[in-house]
Amino acid sequence: MDVLKKVPVREQDPQRRAANFEEVCLGYNEEEAIAEANRCLECKKPLCVSGCPVSIDIPGFLSKVKKGEFAEAFGVLGEASALPAICGRVCPQETQCEGKCIRGIKGEAVAIGKLERFVADWARAQGIKPEPPKETNGRKVAVIGSGPAGLTCAGDLAKMGYDVTIFEALHEAGGVLVYGIPEFRLPKEDVVKKEIENVIALGVTLEKNVVVGKSVTIDELMDEEGFEAVFIASGAGLPKFMGIPGEQSNGVFSANEYLTRSNLMKAFSEDSTTPIMRAHKVVVVGGGNVAMDAARTALRLGAQTNIVYRRSEAELPARVEEVHHAKEEGIVFHLLTNPTEILADENGWVKGVRCVRMELGEPDASGRRRPIEIPDSEFIIDADMVIMALGTSPNPLIANTTGGLDVNRHGCIVANEENGQTSREGVFAGGDAVTGAATVILAMGAGKAAAKGIDEYLSEKKK
């Protein structure tokens, strides 16, 4: 075995998986996990931990895995994260823990993410559940949204003894974990549902079908329902469109709509009562993880699928692993290409996308080289469906109905990074509602910080 290389992880064959919704990565078995954990050098100053937004004691849990003490390893994970089976699957480890791993200097970093996933999956298979706290303090905290930020904050506060209620707008808990990330990356029944059940098992109450700002306001929660603090983790909001001609044609969808139909409403399954359009040739516009998810979903629903992105491969915001998987499955990338018009037939249905070729100019404000149109380079890609994966802008529902809550010029809620405190006393916020669309783990980090902030605030208030 080459100690400089990761123990390879088994995956479903690309051709086979391109036609099903089962998980792509199959994960490690016990022997593979122990072998991979043994690559950890247990550094005195573990840089990996500083790269983790929720500061998991990585050498600590890996030292348990080395000895085959998986239950103990799960205990170490549980101290820092309520959602390890999810993080092990969707965190961008390559830029976080694994990005800082000393092993990575000469060879490949330790596969921390795959090991986290292994331990969490093992514990779930054994039926190990976190214990609710022995003592509760009876003080009520409301958490708005049951995505990664909300679940993390709720879990941490429940462990401290608070009486936490999560308010979820949809009919199912999980936020982006259920409506956004597809089954083949993050299984819903076996992984997401189980980890949410673990948070609920800590004594958290979940009330679904409540749109805070509409069904109830933050003022009502605090003044009439007795909540002493509120954490806003309502996530990202309205999908962006390009504003090009033809965008309202039939067959143009936001990635949010397409993925919500497939993931939350299970429209990928023939049994679903929610329809989804089945196309022959799809163009997905965008280069982030959401674009990859949408493209790989369309591919699995039987379409020849193309990604159109205006910069080059180096600038793709998606995780390298996702791009690699997408290519393996047969998705065609049209890089340095930008749509200028969506063409429709006489009945208003999409029939193609007019594109223009781009080249990279000087770096812009984001530090990335600005794409510039190449004159007279227009061409048409045939398509009967177009999916726009261009990001989202914040949902104004809560900000508009909560007096004294400051938002920035992008409409994001302003919150202190250290403790989640907003401009309104007793109201905290974190996750995409504050940062704009980001990652699951950053949202969890914010949820964790806010739980600490809320505990400090309420402890102080009592005095």
Nearest to another protein of 279, 299 (CB atom): 279
| Nearest-approach distance from CB 214 to another protein, in angstroms | 6
Q: Which residues contact 243 (CB under 8 A, 6 or more apart)?
A: none
Instruction: Supply the minimum distance, in Å, between the C-beta of residue 229 and another protein.
Output: 20
Distance CA 42, CA 312 (A): 38
Residue closer to another protein (CB basis): 152 or 392:
392
Q: CB-wise, 288 or 371, nearer to another protein?
A: 288
The nearest distance, CB 348 to another protein, in angstroms, is 4
Site string for another protein, 335-364 (x = CB under 8 A): ------------xx----------------
Single-letter code of the amino acid located at 399: A
Q: Which helix (H) or strand (E) holds 156?
A: helix 148-159
Read off the tokens for 459.
Answer: 């402890």
**Binding segment toward another protein, per CB under 8 A, in 196-204, 238-246, 323-331, 424-432:** 238-246
In angstroms, the first-to-last Cα distance of the chain is: 59
Are the C-beta atoms of 297 and 181 separated by less than 8 Å? no
Please give the Cα distance from 193 to 53 (Å, whole number). 23
DSSP 321-334: HHHHHHHHHTPEEE
In the complex, minimum distance from the CB of residue 238 to another protein, in angstroms, rounded to a whole number:
5
C-beta closer to another protein: residue 110 or 440: 440
Q: Which of 29, 50, 136, 248 binds another protein (CB under 8 A)?
A: 248
* Residue 29 touching another protein (CB under 8 A): no
Query: Is residue 352 within 8 Å of 382, Cβ to Cβ?
Result: yes
Which range in 69-77, 109-117, 215-223, 289-297 contacts another protein by CB under 8 A?
215-223
Whose CA is closest to 198, among 219, 171, 173?
173
> How many angstroms separate the Cα of 423 from the Cα of each of 3, 393, 420?
51, 21, 10
Cβ 209 to another protein shortest distance, Å: 4
Residue 141's DSSP bridge partners are 164, 229
Residue 193 contacts another protein per CB under 8 A? no
Rounding to the nearest 10 degrees, give the CA dihedral for residues 91, 435, 223, 162.
Answer: 30
- In this structure, are residues 311 and 360 in contact, taking their beta carbons and an 8 Å threshold? yes
Alpha-carbon torsion, ordered 350, 351, 356, 360, to 10 deg: 60
Sole binder of another protein in the list 12, 63, 205, 250 (CB under 8 A) = 250
**Smaller CB separation from another protein, 120 or 388:** 388
Beta bridge partners of 144: 167, 232
Write out the H or E segment, with its range, that includes residue 385.
Answer: strand 385-388
Among 190, 257, 373, 382, binds another protein (CB under 8 A): 257
Binding string, residues 264-293; x marks residues near another protein by CB under 8 A: xxx----xxxxx-x----------------
Closest CB 21 distance from another protein, rounded Å:
16
CB of 107 to another protein, least distance (A): 43
Query: Which of 102, 128, 201, 211 contacts another protein by CB under 8 A?
Result: 211
Q: Which residues of 13-49 are buried (b: 16+ CB within 10 A; e: fewer)?
A: eeeebbeebebbbebbeeebbbebbebbeeeeebebb
Rg (CA), the chain: 23
Q: Does 67 bind another protein (CB under 8 A)?
A: no
Mask of contacts with another protein, 75-114, x by CB under 8 A? ----------------------------------------
x/- binding map, residues 363-402, to another protein, per CB under 8 A?
--------------------------------xxx-----
Look up residue 268 and give its two tokens: 């990928």
CA 264 to CA 180: how far, in whole Å?
Answer: 8
Q: Does position 410 bind another protein by CB under 8 A?
A: no
Q: How far is the CB of 175 from another protein (least distance, A)?
A: 10
Least Å from the CB of residue 267 to another protein: 9
Residues that bind another protein (CB under 8 A): 169-171, 179, 208-211, 214-217, 237-239, 241, 243, 247-248, 250-251, 253-254, 256-257, 260-261, 264-266, 271-275, 277, 347-348, 395-397
